[in-house]
Amino acid sequence: MCDVLQVARPGFYAWKKRPASEREALRDALASEFDRSIPSDIWMLTAVPGCIRNC
């Protein structure tokens, strides 16, 4: 992974161990709230491109 991203290994692993920032935690909370607010059958229809045409 480090070679692909062209970063030093110590820096990459230090970044991975860091706790989530306040912004990242808020984004994750909003995303999970959004996921729960949409019924799964509707979510699958909109998440898969062309599903309405092919189903």
Confidence of residue 36 (pLDDT cuts 50, 70, 90): low
- Residue ranges of the alpha helices (H) in 1-55? 2-5, 9-17, 22-37, 40-47, 51-54
Instruction: Give residue 35's pLDDT band: very low, low, confident or very high (50, 70, 90).
Output: low
DSSP code, position 6: T
pTM value > 0.85: no
Minimum mean pLDDT range among 3-7, 32-36, 48-52: 48-52
